[in-house]
Amino acid sequence: MGKQPGTINRRDFLRIAGSAAISTTLAVSGVVSVAERIACGADASDLDQYDFVMPRVKFAEQGKEGQGRGPDFWNVRPGGDANLLDKFSTVIRCKTKPIKGTNNWEPQYAEPGQLNAVVTFDKLDDLTKYPFLFMTGENFYKFTQNQKYNLREYIMRGGFLLMDDCVVGNGGDFFYQGSYQLLEEVFGRGAVTRIPQEHEIFHNVYDLGDTGLPLLDYPKRQRPGGLPYMHGQNHGARGVFIENRIAVFLGCTDIHCGWCDRQGFEFGRPNYEKAIQMGINIIMYAISH
């Protein structure tokens, strides 16, 4: 499904900026009704207070021995979400619902009520309030038939899902593999395709055309042979297109952990900035298409 009639285009959105433009964009996206207003926060009071909320998807990971170190579950590192939303609100000049009580990498797991919204794919009515969802993890997972149905319905109605694999060190890309398989089951074989570097999602706010999806690595660490010690796997950016719209963005380079590293202690400040810029580009693309 492409842009709905009357949807503000990206150039106008960037020119106007501000919360009023975000209100218009989200209200006509097909997910959020005008009556519900824009941001679709975790409770009714949020609907009138915030321009953008980034819900986390809660799901059950099927972790097995030897798969990842942690494990890092669905609610890992809320500080990354907090840093992204803080920067997004500054760049776009809008009011985002803050995530409080975080300090970059800490806590490792979000406390109850700490994230600004949490959803599951169990009930479609709970999903269709939100135009944008974020899902991250480290291990394999499975959806029920009902959850698969709701995922498809949510996307076909205009929703957007960002899926980011939380690879720990040079571990396996289990979440990525599971997500790839799930999306092809739901949307059909061949539905997951590479997103080319010339696509506007890499250029709309920040120009990341030279690198595309940032790859998080540790500049001070090396593997045997002098190769960098990576925090993600480099499969390139992939997604599910509904007509010409990217509806699902599937990443494998762990940009979420990049969002956590505001001080640049792990990946270096340039890598942190690129990860944040990629996150802002993705949000802006999602809410303006």
Within the chain, which residues score under 50 in pLDDT?
Answer: 1-44, 65-66, 68
Q: 10-287 has which fold? A: Rossmann fold (3.40.50)
Task: Report the 3 state secondary structure along 69-90.
Answer: CCCCCCCECHHHHHHHHHHHHH
Residues 183, 246 contacting (CB under 8 angstroms): no
Distance CA 191, CA 184 (A): 6
Sign of CA dihedral 68, 239, 277, 97: negative
Tokens describing residue 283: 């949000």
Q: Please tell me what DSSP assigns to residue 218.
A: E
Q: Which residues pair with 61 in a beta bridge?
A: 141
Expressed in angstroms, the distance from the first to the final Cα of the chain is: 10
Q: What is the pLDDT of residue 174?
A: 86
Residue 63's pLDDT is 64
Residues whose CB is less than 8 angstroms from the CB of residue 236 and which lie 6 or more positions away in sequence, other chains included: 194, 195, 212, 213, 252
Question: What is the C-alpha to C-alpha distance for residues 261 and 271, in angstroms, rounded to an integer?
Answer: 9
Residues 219, 174: contact at Cβ < 8 Å? no
b (16+ CB within 10 A) / e for 177-186: ebbbebbeeb
- C-alpha count within 13 angstroms, C-beta hemisphere, residue 41: 18
What confidence score (pLDDT) does residue 31 get? 42
Q: Among candidates 54, 55, 46, which has minimal Cα distance to 87?
A: 54
**Measured distance CA(143)–CA(121) in Å, rounded:** 8
The pLDDT value given to residue 231: 58
pLDDT of 38: 34
pTM confidence score: 0.82
CB-facing half-sphere around the CA of 128: CA atoms within 13 A: 15
pLDDT in tens, 83-123: 999 999 999 888 899 999 999 999 999 999 999 999 999 99
What does DSSP assign to residue 201?
Answer: G
pLDDT tens for residues 214-243? 887 766 665 566 655 555 667 889 999 999
Cis peptide before 98 (omega within 30 of 0): no
pLDDT of residue 93: 86
Given a contact cutoff of 8 angstroms between Cβ atoms, the answer to whether 26 and 128 are in contact is: no
Strand partners, 248: 161, 240
